[in-house]
Amino acid sequence: MSSAPRSAQVPPAVATVFDDLDRYVAAPRVSDMAMSVDGSRVVVVLSRLDADKATYVGALWEVDVEGSAPARRLTWSEHGESGPAFTADGDLYFLRRTSQDDESTALWCLPAGVGEAHIVSKRGAGYSDLKTATHSPRFVAMSDVMPSAGTEEVDERLRQLRKDKKVGAILHTGYPIRHWDHDLGPATPHLYAGDGDGDARRVTANAEGALHEASYSISADGSFVVSTWTIRKALATSRTVLVRVDLDTGTRTTIVDDDGADLGSPSVSPDGSRVAFIRESLSTPEQAPRMTLQQYVFEDRTVSDLAPEWDRWPSNPVWLSDGTGLLVVADDRGRAPVFLVRDGVANPVTTTDSAYSHLHVASSGVVFALEASYRQPLHPVRIDIESGVVHPLALAEPLPALPGTLTEVETVAEDGRHVRAWLALPADASETAQAPLLLWVHGGPLSSWNTWSWRWNPWVMVARGYAVLLPDPALSTGYGQSFVDRGWGRWGKEPFSDLMAVTDAAAALEEVDGTRTAAMGGSFGGYMANWIAGHTDRFDAIVTHAGLWALDQFGPTTDAAYYWQREMSPEMAFENSPHLYVADIDTPMLVIHGDKDYRVPIGEGLRLWFELLSESGLPTDDEGKTDHRLLYFPSENHWVLAPQHAKIWYEVVLSFLSEHVLGIETKIPEILG
């Protein structure tokens, strides 16, 4: 067992935003970025609570690209802006909601010179996923269209008819039928293109759901896009291919069709001759997926692997301005650095403890991105790709101070593999003032604890005195393909033993009180919380959020049942299902679930709750009382996003932990009755 040196950050002497949940949920947060073609301007979306403190409203802020001056606000609408994108001429396009009650967004333009913002294009379904060409006035965006609508007039009439008649029924002919927290259909996504001189026009036909969750890239001259395109297959399965869509004629051509993979994240080269993309091999219960960076060349129609020996999972490729290489981000040992892929090799550009996203490369070669880590939330930076130096760009307010320090813990698992974790410690934790330990398991499961999350934030717990352990067990990304493979189809085995091993290592540290512990997690982390509850009594309390409980039930009811069929066989699901061990659970559990969760349907939480009360080792007593608790959100989804509900989530979790870990009864929020 080993631990890394403590973070050099000095804990603040005064209370932080993490000490006050009202301040915490009200903290401004960055969510998107846009850059002008020449790199002289950078704009971010910064969201704050609205007047009712019930939702976050985004506004556009311009940051100083040199990092010396504070950001300045560009937009002030009541309902918020999102999706900024600069045109070739330097105008700033963005999406703006039309009203509080209408979720649809219109396309607006803020001129580069003097002038007020004005509407460029508007339609009833609104726009999303806006992109602009770097060397032409063309823009492209997504918008939903009713399946039988051959014209804009028919589409609008059908929408109004459903609204007037108050009809919400949807007739499906295929799969999937819902996604995360929303129903699919009857309208389906299409690509719209325009040139800034009037309403956009539809450039895709017969989509029939093929552009659901699509990603696409527009060529520099605005003549075409390359997009993912989902094709339906037998037995309710599907896979994605790459298509080229001519934006003048609407002609669609399939350019890459790989029957062994899903293809995603296309990126057209600056000269339009090539397309980089991510290939995800189709998994089977016996074989985990693998992500690789590929390239298609239009001239000879060839596909090649751009980094065949690289054992990481790349994402969101972005071309260098001269087309000689690509920047990608990949999870790597609890970080997500920027890598430069060139001449068949991937080399790290950044060496910080951060995760990067929203990469932008200017025509001058300068690189901008958003950076985050467990030390700081998402914020804009400029990156020197030659030296790897990262320059922060100032926002309007400083980033929040932390109530503690961050370190790493590493240990050796049962099979000899090294397992590591982040450990967030209270500022005053010491051998004489040990902190109780909270094990927090990440979701996914193919992911990593490597970046800031306002929703799953350890510092809220640290501010209340807990040491929070954020481990990456088997199935986590960033440790090579074999680290994923060792846990594939074996959720209750290596992932569980890895978690116990790294918990042992953390509990042995002098600052940590290993006799006062709790475990928690969401999604796959909720599954692991459920599994832990039935396989050990070492924890004083367990919190399971949106957790999988009965895998035979979960498989066909999740919104992506076809993917689950590729993840576990019925035999694997039976062998790894937590519900079979309910009789062995004698630890108090807090079950949390949102009714609009379609990824892990509410039935998982409902069945878990009933079986805890009726079949567990800690059932209801003769008076119907129990130490278990259920926190139910009728209007929330997989994550619980509304600020007022996020606050309640933290309050109830902290109250439950206080009672069972600290032995201190804390009142539940008054608003719960």
Domain stops at, among 247, 279, 305 = 305
Tokens of 336: 């997500």
Report the share of the chain in percent with pLDDT over 70: 98
| pTM score over 0.85 | yes
Return d(Cα 263, Cα 277) in angstroms, integer. 7
Tokens of 390: 């990262």
pLDDT at 113: 84
Q: Which phi and psi angles does 159 have, rounded to 5°?
A: -65, -45
Report the share of the chain in percent with pLDDT over 90: 93
Are 289 and 418 within one domain? no
For range 167-186, the mean pLDDT:
96
pLDDT tens, position by position, 475-490 = 999 999 999 999 999 9
Are 563 and 424 within one domain? yes
Are 292 and 416 within one domain? no
Tokens of 516: 């006062």
Residue 333 lies in a domain: no
Is residue 357 over pLDDT 60? Answer: yes
> Can you give the three-state secondary structure of 526-572, one letter per residue?
HHHHHHHHCCCCCCCEEEEECCCCCHHHHHHHCCCHHHHHCCCCHHH
pLDDT at 3: 46
pLDDT tens, position by position, 528-568 = 999 999 999 999 999 999 999 999 999 999 999 999 999 99
For residue 456, give the CATH number of its domain: 3.40.50.1820
Residue 642 lies in a domain: yes
Is residue 665 over pLDDT 60? Answer: yes
Q: How confident is the model at residue 4 (pLDDT cuts 50, 70, 90)?
A: very low
C-alpha closest to that of 445 among 531, 518, 527: 527
Characterise 130 by phi-psi region: left (phi > 0), alpha (psi -120 to 50), beta (else).
Answer: beta
Q: How confident is the model at residue 14 (pLDDT cuts 50, 70, 90)?
A: low
Residue 190 lies in a domain: yes
Are 631 and 508 within one domain? yes
Domain stops at, among 252, 278, 305 = 305
pLDDT at 8: 39
pLDDT tens, position by position, 230-240 = 999 999 999 99
Angle between helices 494-507 and 524-533 (to 10 degrees): 80
Task: Report DSSP state, residue 472.
Answer: -
- Give me the amino acid identity at 654: L
pLDDT, averaged across the chain: 96
When divided into structural domains, the chain yields a total of 2
Residue 28 lies in a domain: no
Q: Is the bond preceding residue 84 a cis peptide, omega within 30 degrees?
A: no
In this structure, of 191-200, 204-213, 260-269, the range with the lowest mean pLDDT score is: 191-200
Residue 250 lies in a domain: yes
Evaluate whether 219 touches 269 at the Cβ level (below 8 Å): no
Domain stops at, among 252, 283, 305 = 305
Are 301 and 411 within one domain? no
pLDDT tens, position by position, 399-427 = 999 999 999 999 999 999 999 999 999 99
Residue 555 lies in a domain: yes
Q: How many CA atoms lie within 13 A of 527 on its CB side?
A: 22
Return d(Cα 305, Cα 355) in angstroms, integer. 24
pLDDT tens, position by position, 58-95 = 999 999 999 889 999 999 999 999 999 999 999 999 99
Q: How confident is the model at residue 199 (pLDDT cuts 50, 70, 90)?
A: confident
pLDDT tens, position by position, 16-54 = 999 999 999 999 999 999 999 999 999 999 999 999 999
pLDDT tens, position by position, 84-94 = 999 999 999 99
pLDDT at 5: 40
Which one is predicted more confidently, 115 or 125?
125
Is residue 164 over pLDDT 80? Answer: yes
Q: For residue 259, what are the domain limits? A: 135-305
Residue 513 lies in a domain: yes
Q: Which phi and psi angles does 332 have, rounded to 5°?
A: -155, 100
Residue 15 lies in a domain: no
pLDDT tens, position by position, 139-154 = 999 999 999 999 999 9
pLDDT at 102: 74
Is residue 13 over pLDDT 90? Answer: no
The per-residue DSSP string of 248-293 comes to TT--EEEEE--TTEEEEEEEE-TTSSEEEEEEEEPPBTTB---EEE
Are 272 and 412 within one domain? no
Is residue 2 over pLDDT 50? Answer: no
Any idea which residue has 């290596």 for tokens?
494
Are 301 and 435 within one domain? no
Are 510 and 658 within one domain? yes
Q: Please state whether beta strands 201-202 and 188-194 pair in parallel, antiparallel, or not at all (unpaired).
A: antiparallel
Task: Provide the edge-to-edge strand list for the sheet that holds 314-319.
Answer: 314-319, 326-330, 338-342, 345-348
- Give me the amino acid identity at 4: A
